[in-house]
Amino acid sequence: MARVIAMLNQKGGVGKTTSAVNLAAAFAAHGHRTCLIDLDPQAHMTLHVGLDGDSIDCTVYDLLVDPQRSIEDAIVKVDERLDAIVAETDLAAAETELADQSGRQDILARKFVAIADQYDVVMIDCPPSLGLLTLNALAMADEVFVPMQAHFLALQGVGKLLETVGLVCQSVNPELEVTGVVLCMHEKQTNLAREVVDDLDTFFTESRESNVPWRHCRVLQPPIRRNIKLAEAPSFGQTIFQYDPTCRGAEDYTALAEDVIARWQHGPESQSPPATVDAATEAPVDVDSEPTEISGAS
């Protein structure tokens, strides 16, 4: 049975799609049969892997709004062991079209059952919003990864997201857990980054004994360093492993996948040693209600 991960952050521009695509590609490179699902109407995941949702007969939009469409019809091959279910611009209208339909929160989950045994890992790229499309992702997922940058304001956003996942657990998916934070565009050598990571580690450690969906969450290792190749790859419709498999971005996502796989194999406390970064030589590269309280958020 596939392990389903929702890549989720309600804030845009934090590396969500980059992480969804390249972490999925890294899982595939490690021999895991992997499927990417694009639930974002912007269709950035679809473009990242070189596909055009508007020219594909069956997309995630069709699966949601047409009871007659089969999920098998929506599978598109991206690379060896890596498939995709793509988005199109019409996906933005899905929430309105499904507004009066019963069971609309788990349409995708019910359809995916038919092919769940074909995959080891499913990665869902969620929209930067908390509407019906995101609910479909969370209803289907086993775990949530939160991509973020190590900024203080990002901590407040993570707190709000954790509250949202808690509500979803109460209503549509009691087994859902937030299991990892992916640090993107990371500048490890700065004091700010170190302080934010320390705050996250402290918060998650203090949650271990609480009955909350993030009690097993931790900051995944290694952080994804700023790397211009990660910004260039989508314009060529390629994963980072197709575009430049020797760059730092590919190294980081490979190591991140190994960290996650070790955790799956050996339990929540398993962790690969973080990749070391020479701060003296790592130069930054420019690229593109009250929440749950995390120390440092303001």
Instruction: Give 248's pLDDT tier (boundaries 50, 70, 90).
Output: very high
Q: Give the DSSP letter string of 182-198.
A: EE-SB-TTSHHHHHHHH
Percent of the chain with pLDDT over 70: 89
pLDDT reading at 221 higher than 80: yes
Task: Determine the pLDDT at residue 275.
Answer: 42
145 strand-pairing partners: 7, 180
pLDDT reading at 65 higher than 90: yes
Domain layout of the chain by residue ranges: 3-266
Q: What is the distance between the alpha carbons of residues 132 and 274, in angstroms, rounded to a whole number?
A: 36
Write the pLDDT tens digit of every residue in 122-138. Answer: 999 999 888 899 999 99
For residue 19, the surrounding DSSP H or E stretch is: helix 16-29
Write the pLDDT tens digit of every residue in 275-285. Answer: 433 333 343 33
Q: What is the mean pLDDT of the chain?
A: 87
Task: Determine the pLDDT at residue 11.
Answer: 77
Task: Determine the pLDDT at residue 282.
Answer: 41
Least Cα distance to 43 among 57, 35, 27, 54 occurs for 54
Task: Determine the pLDDT at residue 285.
Answer: 36
Question: Is 3-266 a domain of CATH 3.40.50.150?
Answer: no
Sign of the alpha-carbon dihedral angle for 219, 29, 49, 276: positive
> Which residues contact residue 244 at a Cβ distance below 8 angstroms, ignoring those fewer than 6 apart?
229, 233, 250
Task: Determine the pLDDT at residue 270.
Answer: 52
Asked which of 43-52, 66-75, 193-202, 231-240 is least confident by mean pLDDT, the reply is 193-202
The residue ranking higher by pLDDT, 159 or 237, is 237
Residue owning tokens 């892997």: 49
Q: What is the distance between the alpha carbons of residues 77 and 131, in angstroms, rounded to a whole number?
A: 28
Q: Strand 121-125's sheet: what is its strand order?
A: 76-79, 82-85, 34-38, 121-125, 3-7, 143-148, 177-183, 218-219
Task: Determine the pLDDT at residue 158.
Answer: 81
> Which residues contact residue 111 at a Cβ distance below 8 angstroms, ignoring those fewer than 6 apart?
63, 70, 71
Q: Mean pLDDT, to the nearest integer, of 98-114?
A: 93
Asked which of 147-151, 157-161, 216-220, 275-279 is least confident by mean pLDDT, the reply is 275-279
